[in-house]
Amino acid sequence: MGLVLSLASICVYCGSSNLVAEPFKVSTRVIATELAQRGVRVVYGGGHVGLMGILADAALEAGGKVVGIIPEHIRAQEVQHNGLTELIVVPNMHTRKRMMVERADAFIILPGGFGTLDEAFEILTWKKLKLHNKPVFLFNERGYWNELIALVDKTIVEGFAQPSDRTLFQIADSVENLFALLDERSVSEGGSLTGRM
């Protein structure tokens, strides 16, 4: 079964570092290829470095559509990708993050660093605050996010978050598992931004 049409665009958050182990690169390539082959438009940060670059290249090579959203001041730092279906240059980071959310029907969080963590928690806190109700998938490649998941559990155990917050995202530990979860989700999960961000 393919993806439901409601997940026409998926925003992928991932690392910008080139120094990461090969398996992270391989799975990023596989996920991007699979999304493109399923006709899903990929929305991402617009750079040509690290997993971000691998993601965009693989989706484009597989015939997919890729939309990059990059702030003016980091175009050079993240080596803006010049072969995208659409490259949107925005004035600042906040506009980028907001536009990435608006343009996507769901979010996949791949392994990444500080920027990815920031994006992951922004999308989760916005969901918690009911600014959107779109599916969020954490790709826990080789247990990369184990400590993060444990920390989320701790926030709940210690009373800083509610047990229901654990349902704000789903964890996939393999590419097969990720696409099985994507296939399960439907249009009813979606929702537009309320303009309160």
Q: Is-contact 36 50, C-beta < 8 A?
A: no
Residues 62, 29 contacting (CB under 8 angstroms): no
5 or 193: CB nearest ligand AMP: 193
Helix axes 93-102, 114-128, angle to 10 degrees: 60
Residues paired with 9 in a beta bridge: 41
Task: Compute CA distances 25 → 18, 102, 136, 187, whole Å.
Answer: 9, 27, 21, 30
Residue nearest to ligand AMP (CB): 115
**33 binding ligand AMP? (CB under 6 A):** no
Secondary structure (3-state) at 180: helix
Is residue 135 close enough to count as binding ligand AMP by CB under 6 A?
Answer: no
Closest distance between ligand AMP and the C-beta of residue 75, in Å?
A: 11
* Per CB under 6 A, 140 contacts ligand AMP: no
Does position 56 interact with ligand AMP (CB under 6 A)? The reply is no
141 binds ligand AMP (CB under 6 A): no
**Residue 118 within binding range of ligand AMP, rule CB under 6 A:** yes
Q: Can you tell me the distance from the alpha carbon of 18 to that of 139, in angstroms, rounded to the nearest whole number?
A: 19
CB 61 within 8 A of CB 89: no
Q: Tell me, residue by residue from 89 to 108, as one string, x for binding to ligand AMP by CB under 6 A and - for no binding.
A: ----x---------------
Residue number, 75 or 166, with CB nearest to ligand AMP: 75
Our CB check for ligand AMP shows the closer of 149 and 156 to be: 149
By the criterion CB under 6 A, which residues form the site for ligand AMP? 15-17, 45, 47, 74, 78, 93, 112-116, 118-119
